[in-house]
Structure 1
C-alpha cells in the first residue's frame, strides 16, 4: 500500500475523498437552492427574517438594477459592507448580472480602499449609510476612478420596532446620503421587477470573486476565484457536515468580506438551504444572546472570538444545546482553548485551514469521530496536499522532513488579478505539468493524512484571523521624518494570536522628545484596527544581512531570545 493509499483508507470525512465537483456557476448554485427551498428562512438579521424566495427576489432586482446602470459581464462591483442582508443581495445580484465581486473590508482607510478600487478597476461600490462607512466611500468616490456608490439603509432591514428605535436613537451613527448623481439609494436600485435575464456564465473561466490577499510576497493582490472555484468550495464544505440534511442554522459573526466567512457562513449555507443568523459585527454579549435566541447548529470563528465568548460573564447563562460543531480558522487554535470551549458549551471545536487563494478552505478536522489536536485535519474531498522542498518547490520534501505545503483542488484560484508575472512563485509545477498552489506554510503530513503546520515562509502576521503585512506598516513609519529604519514583526498575544510590534532607529536630526510612545501615537491612527502596533521600540541599531539589508528574521530571533532569557 502506498502512502497515498494509506491515508485515503483512513479518511474520516463523511463523503469519499474522490467525490467529484463538476464545474458550476454561483448563479446556478444560488438559483437551484432558492427554487428548492423558497419558503425556508435564509436570513435572520437582528430578529427580522427573510426566506429564500424573498432573497431571490432581491437578488434578481439588484441584477436588473445593475444592468440598467450599465454594469455588465466582467465589470467589477465592490462590497464595502458589514454582515447585513444587503451584502447577500448585492453579492449574488452582481454575479447574476455577470459582474465580478470585489470584497472590501469595512476597516479600510480611504487610501487602502482607493488602492484596491484602482487595482481592481471597481466601477460600482455598495455600502451603508453608516457614519463609519459612507464618508469613507464618498471620499474614495472623489479620489479614484470609482463611478457610483449605492447606499443601503440600516434601519430599512431591521424589524419594525427596532427600525423605529434606530431612526430615533441612533441618528448619530448614520450619515446623510448626499444629493449627488453618482450616489444612488439601494431602494432606488432595486425599484424594478427583477426581470433582467441572468448573464451566461462560463464557470471555469469567469471570475466570480476578487479576494485581496498578501499572497506569498506581502503585497496585496487580488486572488481570482472563478465561479467553479467558489461553488466547489461551498459544496466541499457542505459535504463535511454529516448532519447537513437536518436543521442547518449558522451564526454569522465572522465578517462576510473575509474569505473564511464567505465560504463557511454564506455560500456553504446557501448550498444546503440553511439559515444564516447575521450579526453586523462581533460583540460577545450580542453573540451569546443570539445563540440562546436562535439556537444555531454551527458557529465558525477565529480563536480570539472563542476566547472572548469564554471570557464574557453572560457565558454561564447561554443555552448552547443546539450547537453541533464550531469551526476554527484564520489562526492556530491552541489545545487549551479547544478544551475550555468544548467543556463550557458541549459542542465540538475543530480546526481547519485555508487561504484566500483556495476560496477559503483546504483542510479541516472531521466534525465527528477521532480528531488530531494540533493539526489542521485532513484535506477536503477532491483536494490534495503535499510537501515540497522548502528551497526548491520543484522537488518533494526529503522523506520524514517538514516541507512547504502545496495544494491542488477545484477550489484553487486561477491566479492573481493583473499579476501573471507572479505565477512562477505562486505555483509549483510537478513532473506531469500539474500546477500546485504554494501556501508559504511549512508542515508535516502523518500516515493518516492529517496535516500540521510547524512554521511559515511568509512574513505576514496573523492578527485574530486577519493577515497584516509588515511592509505596509513600515512604509507608513518611513513617512515620519524622525524614522531612519523600521522593521515590524509579529509578537505572541494571548487574545489575538499575534500583534504587530514596530522597531525603529531614529535619524540623526530627530527632534528632541521623539520616542516610541510618540511614534505609536502618530502611527496607529493611520492604520486599520487589526494593523495597529502594540508598541514602537526605539533601538540604536537593527539587524542586517551581510549585504546590508534589514533582516526581519534576525530581529525575530533576537527578540524571542531576549523574551525567553
Structure 2
C-alpha cells in the first residue's frame, strides 16, 4: 500500500508561515520545542519545557481566542511580550489567525518607539503589563488601539489578559490556520534605526518561508538541534527549522551585559549545538571562556550578525570551541537576510592582512540564490536596474541585492521605498543596502562602511570600516571611528577613539603618536591628522555593535571648535 506523501510546508497550499510549527508538531510531537526561564517560589528562576505538540496546541488556542476577541485577518497587532513560551505561542497564533504582528525593538528608545507605533497604527496591542503602562502613560498608538491583551494583571488599563484569551479559545479544539497567499502581508518588522530613522519593513509570507529555507541550506541546520538564540526575532525561526530553543536568561536589549557564566551553564546543561548572537555578545562570551579555559563541547555552529565581527572576536570564539565547530558571520539587514555569509575557516592569514590593511571586511559569497551587485554611489533613486552603473571588480560602490528574501516596501513610507527599491526587466525587486562594498575577482563581497557615513574631503573618499580596521589593531583601543567634520565634499577626516581604562598623560600622548604613525603608514588614512579621545562611543541598542558615527561627528565638530 502506498503511503501518503506529506507536502512541504512552504508550498503555495501551505504558505502561511505558521504551517511550519504545525508540521513539526506532526513530525516530532513529543520533542521539546522550547526550554524557557520561569519564576518559581520566592522569585527563584528555573527552566520549564514545552513540546512541539503543546506549543502548537497553545498557539491554536490563542489563535481561536484572538478571533473570538476581534483580532481577525489583516488586523495589525503590536506584539510586546518578553521572550518565553507566550512570546512564541502568540507570534505563531497571530499568523494562524491571519493577523499582522508588528515587531518593534523596545530598546530603540521611547520616542522612536512611539513614532513607530504611530506609523504602524495597530488596532490591537498585546504586551506585558509594563508595556501597557507605557502605552497608557505615553500615548502609544492611542488613536488606533482598540483591542488590548495583557500578559499580566491589567490594573484597569483596559482589555483582557492572556488567561481570559485562553479561555475564549478553549471552546473549540480544531486546529486554526488562516489560508494566505505567498504575497499576503505577514508582518511589519521595524529596523533598529541605528543608521537612520526606524522604518517598518513589510514582510510577506513568502519572505519568511524563503528565509527559513535559505538559513537551513546555508548553514546545514538539521531538525533536532538545540539552539541558543540571544536575539529574540531570530529565535522565531527555530520552531520552523525543527530546533529546540533555549531562551537565555538575559536582557535581549543589552547583549554585551549578558552574564557569560549563566550562558555557559545553560549551554552545557542542554547541550546546545547552535548559538546565535551579536558581535558584542560573542565578545563577552568568548573572553569569559578563554579566561577560564572553557571549551563548549556541544556547540558545532555559531552564527553572528548585526554588525561586522572583529577578527579578534572570531579567533577567541574559535578557541572556545572544538576544532570541527564552525563560526558563520552572515551579512544582511532587516530588509533582506541573509545576503551573504563567510565562515571562520575561510578567514586565513592572507585575508586578515587584507582586512588590517584597509581592504574592508570580507562578508563572503552571496547566499544562493541571491544576486548581488556593486553600483556607483548616487543620491538619486532608481526605477529600474538599467539606470544603475555597475562598478568593476575591486572598485567600491553601493551594494544592491535581489533574491527570495528581498522585501519590496516600507510601511507608510513611499519616499523611502522609492529610494531603496527598484525592479529589473524580469520584475524582480532589488534593494539598496545603503552599504559600501567591493566585489573581488573571486566573487567575494567586502564590506567597507555605510554610504551615509563616508567622508568626502574633495580629494578622496574615506570609508569608515576600511580605515578603522587599521587603527583597531592598536592594543590600547576598544574601538575607533572615522568621521567627517564639515560639509560633504570639503570634510576633514577625524579619528575618534575609545580606549580601555584610564590612560596616564604619558600613555595618552603615546597612543596619540602611535595612531598618527599608523595613519601615515597606509595610503587610505594618510589624510587623517586629528585624533580625539572619547569616553564611550554611542552604539545601537539592538546589537551594542553599530557605532553612532553621526553623533560622534557632531561631538568631534564641537570638540575641535572649543
Secondary structure of the residue aligned to 2:123 is strand
1:422 aligns with 2:416: yes
Write the mapping of 1:172-187 to structure 2, written as runs, cut at 5 A.
176-180=153-157, 182-187=158-163
Secondary structure of the residue aligned to 2:207 is helix
Greater Cα shift, 231-240 or 113-122: 113-122
Write the mapping of 1:236-251 to structure 2, written as runs, cut at 5 A.
236-242=214-220, 244-245=222-223, 247-251=224-228
1:29 aligns with 2:31: no
The 2-side partners of 1:490 and 1:127 are apart by 43
Write the mapping of 1:528-547 to structure 2, written as runs, cut at 5 A.
none
**Of residues 291, 309, 332 in structure 1, which corresponds to 2:285?**
309
* Partner residue, 2:370: 383
Secondary structure of the residue aligned to 1:361 is strand
* Partner residue, 1:73: 73
1:200 aligns with 2:143: no
Write the mapping of 1:315-464 to structure 2, written as runs, cut at 5 A.
316=292, 318=294, 320-346=296-322, 347-358=325-336, 360-366=337-343, 374-391=361-378, 394-430=388-424, 434-459=428-453
More relative contact order in 1 or in 2 (CA 8 Å, sep 6+)? 1
**Of residues 166, 184, 202 in structure 2, which corresponds to 1:190?**
166
Contact 2:117 2:141 in 1 (8 A): no
**Would the alpha carbon gap of residues 202 and 274 (structure 1) be closer, same or farther in structure 2, given more than 3 Å must change?**
same
* Partner residue, 2:241: 272
TM-score, normalisation: structure 1: 0.69
Secondary structure of the residue aligned to 1:116 is helix
1:108 positional shift: 5.0
1:135 aligns with 2:133: yes
Per-residue CA deviation, residues 237-285 of structure 1 (Å, 9 max, x unaligned), is: 011233525x4110022233xxxx2xxx321x22331100002535223
1:339 positional shift: 0.8
The 1-side partners of 2:215 and 2:541 are apart by 30
The 2-side partners of 1:255 and 1:243 are apart by 18
Unpaired segments ≥5 residues, structure 1: 1-20, 154-175, 463-488, 496-519, 537-550
Contact 1:216 1:426 in 2 (8 A): no
Per-residue CA deviation, residues 428-455 of structure 1 (Å, 9 max, x unaligned), is: 4445554310001111122332211012
Per-residue CA deviation, residues 144-203 of structure 1 (Å, 9 max, x unaligned), is: 1322332225xxxxxxxxxxxxxxxxxxxxxx53134x2321121112325473222112
TM-score, normalisation: structure 2: 0.69
The 2-side partners of 1:75 and 1:140 are apart by 23
The 1-side partners of 2:558 and 2:222 are apart by 45
1:396 positional shift: 0.8
Secondary structure of the residue aligned to 2:373 is strand
The 1-side partners of 2:271 and 2:79 are apart by 29
Write the mapping of 1:294-305 to structure 2, written as runs, cut at 5 A.
294-305=270-281
**Would the alpha carbon gap of residues 274 and 389 (structure 1) be closer, same or farther in structure 2, given more than 3 Å must change?**
same
The 2-side partners of 1:99 and 1:490 are apart by 48
Per-residue CA deviation, residues 440-485 of structure 1 (Å, 9 max, x unaligned), is: 11111223322110122135999xxxxxxxxxxxxxxxxxxxxxxx
The 1-side partners of 2:26 and 2:108 are apart by 36
Secondary structure of the residue aligned to 2:407 is coil
The 2-side partners of 1:344 and 1:234 are apart by 28
**Of residues 183, 189, 193 in structure 2, which corresponds to 1:211?**
189
The 1-side partners of 2:272 and 2:101 are apart by 28
The 1-side partners of 2:108 and 2:448 are apart by 31
Unpaired segments ≥5 residues, structure 2: 1-9, 38-46, 353-360, 381-386, 455-463, 466-493, 501-534
* Partner residue, 1:252: 229
1:51 positional shift: 0.5
Contact 1:298 1:323 in 2 (8 A): yes
Per-residue CA deviation, residues 101-144 of structure 1 (Å, 9 max, x unaligned), is: 11122335544333222211212222224x5x442244356761
